[in-house]
Amino acid sequence: MIADNLPWVEKYRPQRLNDIIGHDEIVKRLEAYVRNRNMPNLMFSGPAGTGKTSAAVALSRELYGNETGRNFLELNASDERGIDVVRSTIKDFARTLAFNTEFKIIFLDESDALTADAQQALRRTMERYTKTCRFVLSCNYSSRIIEPLQSRCVLFRFKPLSSRHIEEKLQDIAGKESLQMDEKAVKAMIYVSEGDLRKAVNILQAGASLGKKIDEDTIYNVASRAKPVEIQEMIKLILKHEFLEARQKLDALLYEHGMSGEDIIVQLYRELIDMPETEIDSKTKIELIDIIGEYNFRIVEGANERIQLEALLAQFMKYAGK
């Protein structure tokens, strides 16, 4: 029985491999390991919220059943990223025999946060305890894992979930929680989540806390995001030489929606790409994207957000009317 007071991302987390959506080929390969009762070391790579942790936990449940707690160790490398965690916690768990099975599993989440020394120590541990333990490494960027570790693992790439799969999951949860969502609200959650199902479920729960009826405005408010049309209006104003009006739109994004400078930059980029050729031609888009990249770098490096965003609008003015 699942507790009702759990966060929805945990309450509705897949319990078995066939509950995982959007990754049919990966699920099929993992189920083959379960049937054979054997598996190599694995590496799950992909964006956040696409099912990497759920797949590892579901795999362990199907392999071990009620003995999962004794044979499965989950660690987050972003919390314990130094060499000591490899020499102590991981080594101590790996060296002991599995309970009523052939091997244990150590799941190392966010393993790309491990230091280089820790990764080198982990390589030796994986070699030494291969008879008693298997490793599942999860990361957002496989390129940050040293080559010797990559070569010891079978790579599974998790892609962002499609709009269809996210909508199916949201509708399923809404039905179980007796929520009413209109079509625009669902599209808003898909837009804000960008393929991240965990983010979509969290936004749905935040919206549900305000009432059983969820609409588009509720979603954008709880997500602290602007509607796409608001960003488009700001772009159109600046391309019409209406700088002060565009600046007012920027004020609304910063102070009414509470968006960060980086969030505005990212959404500005998304809407610029999607604007039709009748409103802005491809050559101008290319030049504006180059400007967005420059100001995104400045903000990430710590420059004043407000000044940089207004400077960005000023740069856009150069292309007004082209």
- Domain ranges for the chain, please list them: 8-157, 163-222, 228-317
Quote the pLDDT of residue 311: 94
**Options 3.40.50.300, 3.30.530.20, 3.50.50.100, 3.60.40.10; which CATH number does 8-157 get?**
3.40.50.300
Reported as a single tens digit per residue, the pLDDT across 164-217 is 999 999 999 999 999 999 999 999 999 999 999 999 999 999 999 888 999 999
**Is 13 a residue whose pLDDT tops 60?**
yes
- Compute φ and ψ for 144, nearest 5 degrees: -90, 0
Number of H helices and E strands in the chain, helices first, is 17, 7
DSSP for 250-305 reads HHIIIIIS---HHHHHHHHHHHHHHS-TTTS-HHHHHHHHHHHHHHHHHHHTT--H
Quote the pLDDT of residue 233: 92
Residue 274: which of 285, 263, 284 has the closest Cα? Answer: 285
**Is 126 a residue whose pLDDT tops 90?**
no
Quote the pLDDT of residue 276: 86
Mean pLDDT of the chain: 89
Q: What angle do CA 50, 51, 53 make, to 5 degrees?
A: 130
**Options 1.20.272.10, 1.20.1250.20, 3.40.1410.10, 1.10.10.10; which CATH number does 228-317 get?**
1.20.272.10
Tell me the one-letter amino acid at 284.
T
Residue 157: which of 43, 54, 59 has the closest Cα? Answer: 43
Tell me which fold the domain 163-222 belongs to.
Helicase, Ruva Protein; domain 3 (1.10.8)
Per cent of the chain over pLDDT 90 is 58
**Dist. CA 142–CA 147, nearest whole Å:** 9
Which is more confident, 318 or 104? 104
**Is 280 a residue whose pLDDT tops 80?**
yes
**What pTM was computed for the model?**
0.85
Q: If you average pLDDT over residues 51-66, what whole number do you get? A: 92
Quote the pLDDT of residue 1: 43
Per cent of the chain over pLDDT 70 is 95
